Structures are given as C-alpha cells and as structure tokens.
Amino acid sequence: MKKYILMLFLFILSCSKEEPNTFSGVFTGDEYLIKSQVSGIVERVNFHEGAKVKKGDTLLVIDHREVTLQIKSLEYTVRDLMLQVNNAKEDLEKAEKLFKSSAITEDSYKRTERRYKSLLLELNAAKYKLLAQKENLKKFFVTSPVDGYVNKKMVNTGETVLPGMSIVELVRPEKVYLNIYVPEDKLPMVKLGQEVDVHIDAYKGRTFRGKVVFISEKAEFTPKTIQTKEERVFLVFRVKIMVENPELVIKPGIYGDAVLK
C-alpha cells in the first residue's frame, strides 16, 4: 500500500512539473505552389522531389511549337509591313512635294497620306501581337521564383497540364513555421510579434527563437496530428510562429514545442 501511495505521489508531482504553457506543433516550410499558366503537354521535367533549385532555373518545359510558329509568322508580317511603311513614307514625302508645287490634287495627296497611316497602324498592331506572343512563350518555360528545394512534384513528362493546374511545390528552408493550437483560455497570452522559445526533441538543450506572425480569428477542432484523441475534441486557435533556420537544421514535417511566456 505504501508503495502504491508513493508511486501515486510521484506521478502527481511529475504532472505538476509539466509546463502548462508549452504547445506542440508541426513545422511547415515557406511554401510556393507553382501553377501552370497555359495548356499543353509537358515536354521536359528538369527536377525531382528533394532537388535544390535556384531562382530562375527552368523547372519544366511545356510543348510550345504552336506559339513558336505564330511568332515566326508575326516576325515575317512585321518585316513585310516595315518595308511597306518605308515605301509608303517615301511616297508620302514625294506626294507632299508634288502637292506643294500643285503637281497633284489634294485628294491624291490625302489618299497617299491615309495609306501611310493605315500601314503604320497595321505595323504597330503586328508589333504588339508579336511582343504579346513572345511574353506568352515564356509561360511555357516554368521557372523557379525562389531559391529552395522541390517539396512536391505533381506532373511528369508527357502529361497534359491546364491553366491553374498545380505542377510543383517549392520550399524555402531559411524560414520555417511552427503551427501550434492554443485553447481559448490561453489565447490572451499570445500577441502578434511576440517572441517565443522553441524546442525540438532532435536538438535537446538547444533553444530556437521564434516570433508569432499569425493568430487565427476562428476557432477549430484540434487537428488529428496534434495531441491525444481525447484532446482533439476541444476548440482551439491556430497560432503560426516563424522560426529562423539559417543552418537549415529544421525540416518541414518534424514536431516542435513552443513555450508561451
């Protein structure tokens, strides 16, 4: 009996030592979801999951033959119209001299002027279309907007993509976020910009510095990945803590503990 009482006492003592303001959560990265802006067949994929990429790297290429043909056609049209405009300009200059010397009528001069202006408008319109298609061509070469690594690969060579379709998810590892879930009675302890101590089991004895960057306005049930089955029935508020990760030791998906003061 004495042994049982002693064990019960030790259990209660250990519970009393638990930090009541420590909340567990899962780290996520600074994620960038890249979506296709055009439709077509994926011609080439230049990455794999886990690959490091740099800003500007071409991640994948979508079949762009049709756009390339349109560009070539417009380039030919622009060259042809430039010649016509130059010739029309020379004709206008001659007509202006002849009109001033009364060698031609005003109607004849106006017709030459209208032809020049009409061709000039056609040329400018063709140049605009050419520029627009060249900008459109860039969309078929999907590039990385940031330095980071590939977290999810969502397409393969030969597959068809459509505008708005997710094709790759990138993660910047320099900054990670710990998402914790705080009950309503503890919410007054949390403030935007508040500094938080963060601990990770894999790095015992080390304290990481974090800052609260988001507090949810809406309560939700505790996610299944956090706490015990019994605790998941409680309503909580999601709090997002940004943690600097210059050494890249914190990986998205691992657990961490945040201590609210």
Alpha helices in 17-167 (DSSP H): 65-100, 106-138
pLDDT for 220: 81
Beta strand 58-62 with 255-259 is: unpaired
Minimal CA–CA distance to 156: which of 46, 37, 36, 31?
Answer: 46
Q: Model-level pTM?
A: 0.71
CA dihedral (38, 43, 49, 54) positive or negative? negative
Q: Name residue, tokens 């030790």.
A: 10
pLDDT averaged over consecutive 10-residue blocks of the chain (261 residues)? 40 44 89 95 95 95 98 98 97 93 92 96 98 97 94 95 96 89 89 94 90 90 58 77 88 90 79
Cα 182 vs. chain centroid, distance in angstroms? 29
Minimal CA–CA distance to 147: which of 242, 57, 50?
Answer: 57
Where b means 16+ CB within 10 Å and e means fewer, 104-134 reads beeeebeebbebbeebeebbeebeebbeebe
- DSSP 3-state of 150: strand
Q: pLDDT tens for residues 95-144?
A: 999 989 989 999 999 999 999 999 999 999 999 999 999 999 999 999 99
CA distance linking residue 163 with residue 207, whole number of Å: 44
Query: Are 155 and 42 spatial neighbours (Cβ–Cβ below 8 Å)?
Result: yes
pLDDT for 222: 67
CA distance linking residue 241 with residue 73, whole number of Å: 54
